Amino acid sequence: MNNKITIIRLIEFISFFLILSICQLKADDIKDSYSIADIPAWVNIQNYSDKNNSEAGFGISYYLLERQISFIDEKKDYFRLVYALDEQAALVESSQIYINYYPDYQSVELHKIYIIRNGKIINALNKDDIVFARSESAQNSLMLTGKYTLTIPIKGLQQGDIVDYSYTINGKNPVMVGHQFFHQPLGWRTPLNNLYLQVLSNKKMNLSISKYQHFLKKRKSKHFEYELSVSDLDKYSEIDLLPESYEYYPYIQGSDFDSWRDVSRWGLPLFQNKEALVPELVSKIANWKAKPKSSLINAIKFVQDDIRYFGLELGVNSHMPHQPNEVFNKKFGDCKDKVLLLNTILKELGYSAKPVLVSMNIQEAIANRLPSPYAFDHVISMVEVDGKKYFIDPTQQQKGKQLESLGHHAYGKGLVISDDSKNIIDINIPDYEFGMVVNETYQTDDFRNNTKLNVKTIYKGISADSYRAWYKLNNVEDIRKSYLNFYKKKYPDIKSVKPVTIHDNEALNQINVEEEYNLKSLWESSSKYYYQDFYSSELRDRLTYPKVIERSAPIKVKGNLKIEHAINFIFPKNINLTEIKESGDISSKVFDYKYETIQQGHIANFKFSYESLLGQVPVSEIRDYLKKVEEVYDKSSIRMVVNMDRSDQKRKRKSRLRNLIKD
C-alpha cells in the first residue's frame, strides 16, 4: 500500500474513533433502554399452524410471523416469530435473536423466548444473556446512525425444537413530528404458514398492498383498525440481477401523508439555513463571485471534493441536515448536509437551487409507493441555469468540469422540496455514458523472441470519473504494477517498457492513458504456423449473464455503456497474411454489437464495438438476449494464425529431430 493511501486511512481511522467517542452512549443508558415485560394488553395474540413444510428453506419451518403496530399515543411495534428447527445445520444461524433499534428515541420490551420441546415449554429468556453493541461500522459505511443491536443467544436448542419469541419496540424518530408510516414485506425465499398484521391508529391511513388484497380488513371503532391475516404464503425463488426499479417481493404499506406535496411541505423546514454564514465561507463565496464564468463549477466541486462524505445521522439528523456552517467547519457531511451547504452557496451566487429526494434503492419504483419520506434514501440538488435544470449529487467526487457530468446517476424519479412541489418528477440526466476506447497494437519483429505491445485507452464520462478517483490515490509505480499485473495473468514474461502516462482533460472529462510492454514468448507454434488467441476483455467483462435463467423477472444489465476495442497486429514486411475483409452486426433490443476484420499484407486489424440500448432485459426478450450474448462472446475472440517462413519451418524440423534423438 502506498504512503498516501496509508496516511489517508490512518486519518480516517483516528477520525472515526474521535467521532465515536463523542457519540457513544453510556452503557447504563443502553441497559435502561431494554427490559423484560408482559405482552401489552392491546396486542391480539394469534394461534398458528405448526405443520412442517417440505419446501422449507435453510432447514427451518416458519409457522408464524406476527406484527402489530399501535400509533395511538407513543408508537409501539410488536413483533413475534415462531419457527421449527428441522435440520441440525439450522442451529448455527437460528440460535440467536437480533433486535435493531435506536436508543436515542426507542426502547425495547422483551416478552418471551420459549423453546417448545415435545409439547413442553422451556423459558429461555434471561436478561443476563443479552449482549448489546453498536450495529454499524462507521469505518466501512462512513455513517453513524445511533443504531444498536440486542443479541440474545438461545441456550440449549436442539434439532426438532420450536422457538417462539416476541418483543415490542417503543418510540419513533421525533423528526416525523406525529406522522405515521409502516412497511411490511409479504414474500420471502422460504414459505411461511401464517402471517398476521394489525395496525391501530387514531388517524385514517392510506394503504397500498401489492398482493393478498382480499385478506385485508378495515374497521373503525374507537380507533382505525387495519388487519391482514394470510395462511400458506407463497415462496419466492432466489433470483439474481434484479433491476432496482423492479419490485419482486410483495408488500403492504400505510401512510398518513395524503400527497407528495404533503411530504415536500414536511421536508421544507428541514432544508433551511438558519445562521449567518461564517466569514471564511463568505470570503470563499466572494472569490467565486469574482470569476462568474467558473463560479458554479468551482462551488460544486468544492462541496464534492473538499467536503468529505461522513454521516452523523443521530436522532432527528437521520432526515434533518446539519447547518452549513457546521458542515463547512468540520469539512464533512452526509448527502443532506452537503446538499444544504451546496444550495446555500449557490443561492449566494445567484442560482436557484433546491433539494430533491431520490431513491438509490428502488429508483423509478417510488412512483408505486405511498407518499412518505421513507420512500427515499438519498438527496441531491437541482440547480437552474439559463432556464435548464441540472441534477447535481454533492456526494460524488473527482468529476470533470462539465456541468452535465457533476451529478450523474440513474435516479429515475425524485421529489423536489419546495413551496410549489406537487408531485414526483422525472429526473432527466443528460446523455452521459460509461465510455471506453481501447486500442491494442502488437508489433512482432521476431516470432521467437520479441513482440512490442502498445495500449492506448480513452476513458470518457462515467469511466473517466471512476478512473480519476482511482489514479489520484495511487503513485506512478503502483499504477504501473496494476496495469502490468493485468497482462501478466495471460503473459507471465511480459515486462513494462516505461511508466504509464496519464493525460487528464477535466474540461472534456476525458482521460488518455498509454502503456508500453515487451513480450518475449507471445506466439505458440506448430510445424507450419505461429498462432495465439486474443479477445476483448474490456467488452466481455461488462456483458451481463444471469445465474438464474428461468425467471419471471427482468435482468439488470449495464446501461448507458459504450465500448470500442481495437486489436491490431503489425508483422515483419515479408509476412503475407491471407486477405480477409469482413464485418457483422449482432443487434437486439438491449444492445448493439459490431465487429470488423481487415487483414492484408503484414497488417491485421480487428475492431469491436458495443453500445447498450436499455438498462434491463424485459422478460419477453430474455431468450433472444442470452442467445445474442453468446454470439458476442464468440465474435469477440480471435485466433491469429501466421504462416511460418521456410527458414523457420526448417529450424522447427531440426529442433524436433534433435528432441527425438535425445529421447
Residue 29 banded pLDDT, cuts 50, 70, 90: low
Q: Name the helix (H) or strand (E) containing 656.
A: helix 646-662
Cβ(396)–Cβ(380) under 8 Å?
no
Expressed in angstroms, the distance from the first to the final Cα of the chain is 49
Distance CA 470, CA 75 (A): 46
Bridge partners, 502 (sequence order): 513
The total of other beta-carbon atoms located within 10 Å of residue 218's CB is 12
Average pLDDT over residues 424-437: 82
Predicted local confidence at residue 90, as pLDDT:
86
Predicted local confidence at residue 313, as pLDDT:
58
With 70 as the cut, is the pLDDT of residue 648 above it?
no
73: cell is 399515543
Residue 584 banded pLDDT, cuts 50, 70, 90: very high
pLDDT in tens, 250-285: 999 999 999 999 999 999 999 999 999 999 999 999
pLDDT in tens, 77-105: 999 999 999 989 888 888 999 999 999 89
661: cell is 534423438
**Annotated domain spans of the chain:** 33-256, 266-426, 434-647
Q: Which of 475, 471, 435, 490 is nearest to 610 (CA)?
A: 435
Does residue 213 sit in helix, strand or coil?
helix
Q: What radius of gyration, in Å, describes the C-alpha atoms of the chain? A: 31
Q: Name the helix (H) or strand (E) containing 651.
A: helix 646-662
Predicted local confidence at residue 142, as pLDDT:
57
Predicted local confidence at residue 431, as pLDDT:
62
Bridge partners, 606 (sequence order): 567, 597
- Cα–Cα separations (whole angstroms), residue 283 to 25, 287, 323: 38, 6, 18
With 90 as the cut, is the pLDDT of residue 510 above it?
yes
Residue 320 banded pLDDT, cuts 50, 70, 90: confident
pLDDT in tens, 367-422: 999 999 999 989 999 999 998 899 999 998 877 777 777 766 678 899 999 999 99
Cβ(298)–Cβ(291) under 8 Å?
yes
Distance CA 35, CA 29 (A): 12
Concatenated DSSP letters of 11-66:
HHHHHHHHHHHHHPPPHHHHHTTEEE-PPPTT--------PPPTT-STTEEEEEEE
User: CA angle at residue 314 from 361 to 371, to 5 degrees?
Assistant: 40
Query: Three-state SS across 394-447?
Result: CCCCCCCCCHHHCCCCCCCEEEECCCCCCCCEECCCCCCCEEEEEEEEEEEEEC
Average pLDDT over residues 336-344: 96
Task: Determine whether domain 33-256 maps to CATH 3.40.430.10.
Answer: no
Higher-confidence position of 497 and 433 = 497
Residue 143 banded pLDDT, cuts 50, 70, 90: low
Range 161-187 burial, b when 16+ CB lie within 10 A, else e: bbbbbbbbbbbbbebbeebbbbebebb
pLDDT in tens, 445-469: 988 888 999 999 999 988 898 899 8
Cβ(367)–Cβ(415) under 8 Å?
no
pLDDT in tens, 522-561: 999 887 889 999 999 888 888 999 999 999 999 999 888 9
Higher-confidence position of 613 and 137 = 613
Distance CA 264, CA 258 (A): 11
Concatenated DSSP letters of 337-361:
HHHHHHHHHHHHTT-EEEEEEE-TT
Of 218-232, 356-370, 416-430, 592-606, the least confident: 416-430
354: cell is 433546491
With 70 as the cut, is the pLDDT of residue 659 above it?
no
Higher-confidence position of 245 and 140 = 245
**CATH number of 266-426, picked from 3.40.50.300, 2.120.10.30, 3.30.420.40, 3.10.620.30:** 3.10.620.30
Predicted local confidence at residue 144, as pLDDT:
65
Q: Which of 395, 383, 429, 425 is nearest to 410 (CA)?
A: 429
User: Any idea of the CA torsion for 610, 614, 620, 622, to the nearest 10 degrees?
Assistant: 40
Distance CA 81, CA 63 (A): 8
Distance CA 395, CA 411 (A): 14
Same fold, 33-256 and 434-647: no
Residue 139 banded pLDDT, cuts 50, 70, 90: very low
Predicted local confidence at residue 331, as pLDDT:
94
With 80 as the cut, is the pLDDT of residue 55 above it?
no
Distance CA 312, CA 321 (A): 9
Class of domain 434-647: mainly beta
Return left, alpha or beta for 245; rule: phi > 0 is left, psi -120 to 50 is alpha, else beta. alpha
Q: Which of 96, 418, 484 is nearest to 260 (CA)?
A: 418
Distance CA 427, CA 645 (A): 62
Residue 314 banded pLDDT, cuts 50, 70, 90: low
Query: CB-based contacts of 627: which residues, under 8 Å, 6+ apart?
Result: none
% of residues, the chain, pLDDT over 70:
88
Mean predicted lDDT score pLDDT of the chain: 88
Query: CB-based contacts of 580: which residues, under 8 Å, 6+ apart?
Result: 597, 598, 599, 600
With 80 as the cut, is the pLDDT of residue 484 above it?
yes
With 70 as the cut, is the pLDDT of residue 3 above it?
no
pLDDT in tens, 186-223: 999 999 999 999 999 999 999 999 999 999 999 998 89
532: cell is 495465439
Range 92-113 burial, b when 16+ CB lie within 10 A, else e: eebbebebebbbbbbbbbbbbb
Cβ(370)–Cβ(255) under 8 Å?
yes
Distance CA 515, CA 455 (A): 5
Does residue 368 sit in helix, strand or coil?
helix
Query: Three-state SS across 558-615?
Result: CCCEEEEEEEEEECCCCCCEEEEEEEEEEECCCEEEEEEEEEEECEEEEEEEEEECCC
Distance CA 150, CA 103 (A): 11
